[in-house]
């Protein structure tokens, strides 16, 4: 079709399309499954990130720019709040949001510039009216919003306006209530075991108050269960105790906006067109928690703790648990020690993981699962609590089930990392279909498909059911329990799950596109060993062929010397697991307490 004079489709919101003329869609996110095919002729624009060098150049540039912008925001927020906090203080609070907003706006900007250049003349489109614009309240709400269509339409509209283009606008009838990101909530259960844990917390607290002096090592949201956290507390002889963050603020995060202060955000310096546009968007997108509600949140935090811990340890609190982040920022400002603990299988492995970089920067010490070389500043090896529990799952020898573990990501790119993002997600889902299609009918009928709990609107289960009705679907049974009823495992993504399977020593076949799941140079040897041993494959058809070959006796294949050597090599470097993991952790926490003084 002719590309000149086309209508530019920005998102999947059909009320913002003109179906009477050809449409050029910015990406595959405009055509999610289950929404119906567009009526007019259309094209989907190739992704600008097909060029992976360009993708990683963007990731490096954004890392540098976020560091620059953080310095400017530190000065701005200190002046706005009449405080004198350090860059590190604001990094703890703002860092995850700042990474995401910079990555998101840059991706949308690059797509729009490519589309404008591709059409050859000014296209037509429909923008979101400013009366329908939203401002996020905190980091998790921002991440939730960028997973959906309306907020992305808002960002595209703001960028096009900033580029000096004028188009018709339309209000959104109603913002959807659907949430893509589970709310951060306090980890407590209402069953008998949950009540025992809460009693145990009170007992530990009373023992600490009446016993040895408080050295104040607080454990928050580690990568294990509540039971394992209490086991660690006892192993340290109560040197470290669980810290339970309040699940919510005592005040309401309403829509209060201080317009004068927000307008001043647009005066921050910029060095190019993209930076000028992002700075112009900050007044609308800076979460209200960090401006209008900052003093209330800080007061709430300090009122809830009688003494700040000398050492604060967390795996999962650094991204979006705002009460924890405020506590960590205040602790750091008073010279307390912050310890981050690895929680994702891509850490230390994937070529780009922005959150790993962020956590390493905010922490005094970063605890990782075996990939810290001796003497590396700021890094220390500890066994993974979660992976240590995955050892020896007692698999079934007779069950026919093949557990196929898949993943999912938001339809829109939300950060530049070494996984399929944006339009590349369609390729990822196509590989799943190619794998299932390459299996014999008999073998395919034994497959139990386990998708990610957060589908992000991709309808992964529906895709599989439509193309392969003979494939079974997992009911959400916990992974380690499910392993006991399976013959072998297939995994098509680089994540914590593959480490769990290898630590559990389960017959496992891996496959993924190495041009989408890129690993660091130092990890190539370990993953190359998996390829040589026939565990990891670079095509779904090759993985399916291996499954057909070994299915009759997967244990015989899995026990082969070369297969086990490759498995052990990766596990020892990237998936450290120990039966007595609590003793190892106890030693590390002793060291951290000593360093805290």
Query: What pLDDT was estimated at residue 191?
Result: 41
Domain ranges in the chain? 48-173+254-290, 192-250+293-384+579-596, 402-574
Helix (H, G, I), strand (E, B) or coil at 306: coil
Query: What pLDDT was estimated at residue 453?
Result: 86
Query: What pLDDT was estimated at residue 245?
Result: 79
CATH of domain 192-250+293-384+579-596: 3.40.50
Write out the DSSP string of 12-25.
Answer: S-GGG--TTS-EEE
Token pair 């259960």 is found at 189
Outline where DSSP puts E strands in 230-323.
240-242, 311-314
Query: What pLDDT was estimated at residue 198?
Result: 54
Please tell me what DSSP assigns to residue 185.
Answer: -
How many other C-beta atoms can be found within 10 angstroms of the C-beta atom of residue 552?
Answer: 8
pTM of the model as a whole: 0.94
Give the span between the Cα atoms of 399 and 473, in whole angstroms.
Answer: 16
Give the span between the Cα atoms of 40 and 117, in whole angstroms.
Answer: 22
Integer angstrom CA distances of residue 154 from 126, 135, 180, 364, 595: 11, 10, 18, 38, 48
192-250+293-384+579-596 and 402-574: same fold?
A: yes
Query: What pLDDT was estimated at residue 391?
Result: 78
Please tell me what DSSP assigns to residue 519.
Answer: B
Which tokens go with 85? 């906090």
Q: What is the pLDDT of residues 522-575, one digit of tens each?
A: 999 999 999 999 999 999 999 999 999 999 999 999 999 999 999 999 999 999
Query: What pLDDT was estimated at residue 247?
Result: 76
**May I ask the CATH class of domain 402-574?**
alpha beta
∠ CA 89-93-95 to the nearest 5 degrees? Answer: 100
Label the pairing between strands 488-491 and 402-405: parallel
Integer angstrom CA distances of residue 305 from 298, 300, 454: 11, 9, 34
Low pLDDT (below 50) residues in the chain: 1-3, 183-194, 196, 206-214
Please tell me what DSSP assigns to residue 521.
Answer: G
Yes or no: say if 416 and 516 are a contact pair by the CB < 8 Å rule: no
Which tokens go with 425? 């997600």
Query: What pLDDT was estimated at residue 397?
Result: 58
Query: What pLDDT was estimated at residue 207?
Result: 44
Query: What pLDDT was estimated at residue 254?
Result: 79
């Amino acid at each position: 079709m002719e590309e000149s004079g086309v209508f530019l489709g920005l998102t999947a919101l059909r009320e913002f399309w003109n179906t009477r003329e050809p449409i050029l869609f910015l990406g595959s996110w405009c055509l999610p499954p289950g929404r119906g095919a567009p009526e007019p002729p259309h094209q989907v624009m190739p992704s600008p990130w097909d060029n992976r060098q360009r993708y990683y150049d963007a990731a490096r540039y954004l890392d540098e720019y976020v560091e620059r912008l953080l310095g400017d925001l530190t000065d701005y927020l200190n002046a706005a709040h009449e405080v004198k906090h350090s860059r590190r203080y604001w990094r703890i609070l703002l860092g995850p949001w700042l990474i995401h907003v910079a990555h998101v706006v840059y991706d949308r900007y690059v797509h729009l510039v490519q589309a404008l250049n591709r059409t050859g003349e000014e296209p037509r489109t429909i923008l979101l009216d400013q009366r329908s614009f939203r401002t996020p309240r905190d980091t998790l709400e921002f991440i939730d919003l960028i997973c959906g269509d309306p907020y992305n339409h808002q960002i595209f509209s703001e960028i096009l306006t900033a580029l000096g283009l004028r188009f018709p606008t339309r209000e959104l009838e109603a913002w959807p209530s659907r949430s893509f990101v589970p709310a951060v909530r306090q980890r407590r259960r209402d069953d008998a075991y949950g009540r025992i844990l809460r009693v145990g917390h009170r007992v530990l607290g009373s023992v600490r108050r009446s016993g040895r002096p408080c050295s104040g090592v607080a454990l928050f949201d580690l990568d294990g269960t509540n039971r394992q956290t209490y086991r660690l507390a006892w192993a340290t002889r109560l040197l470290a105790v669980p810290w339970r963050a309040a699940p919510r603020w005592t005040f309401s995060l309403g829509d209060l906006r201080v317009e004068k202060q927000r307008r001043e955000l647009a005066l921050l310096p910029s060095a190019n067109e993209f930076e000028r546009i992002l700075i112009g968007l900050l007044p609308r997108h800076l979460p209200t928690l960090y401006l209008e509600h900052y003093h209330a949140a800080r007061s709430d935090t300090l009122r809830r703790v009688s003494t700040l811990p000398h050492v604060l340890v967390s795996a999962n609190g650094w991204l979006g648990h705002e009460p924890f982040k405020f506590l960590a920022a205040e602790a750091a400002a008073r010279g307390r020690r912050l310890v981050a603990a690895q929680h994702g299988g891509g850490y230390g492995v994937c070529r780009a993981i922005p959150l790993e970089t962020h956590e390493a920067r905010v922490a005094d010490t970063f605890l990782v699962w075996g990939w810290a070389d001796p003497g590396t500043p700021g890094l220390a090896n500890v066994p993974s609590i979660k992976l240590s529990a995955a050892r020896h799952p007692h698999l079934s020898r007779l069950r026919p089930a093949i557990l196929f573990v898949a993943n999912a990501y938001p339809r829109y790119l939300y950060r530049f990392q070494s996984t399929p993002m944006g339009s590349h997600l369609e390729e990822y889902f196509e590989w799943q279909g190619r794998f299932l299609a390459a299996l014999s009918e008999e073998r395919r009928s034994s497959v139990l498909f386990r998708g990610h709990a957060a589908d992000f609107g991709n309808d992964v289960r529906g895709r599989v059911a439509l193309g392969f009705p003979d494939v079974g679907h997992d009911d959400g049974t916990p992974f380690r329990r499910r392993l006991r009823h399976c013959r072998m495992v297939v995994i098509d993504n680089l994540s914590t799950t593959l480490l769990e399977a290898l630590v559990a020593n389960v017959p496992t076949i891996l496959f993924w596109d190495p041009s989408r799941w890129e690993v660091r140079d130092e990890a190539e040897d370990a993953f190359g060993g998996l390829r040589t041993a026939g565990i990891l494959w670079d095509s779904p058809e090759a993985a399916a062929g291996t499954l057909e070959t070994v299915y009759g006796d997967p244990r015989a294949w899995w026990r082969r010397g070369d297969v086990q050597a490759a498995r052990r090599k990766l596990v020892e470097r990237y998936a450290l697991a120990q039966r007595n993991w609590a003793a190892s952790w106890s030693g590390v926490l002793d060291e951290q307490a000593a360093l805290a003084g």
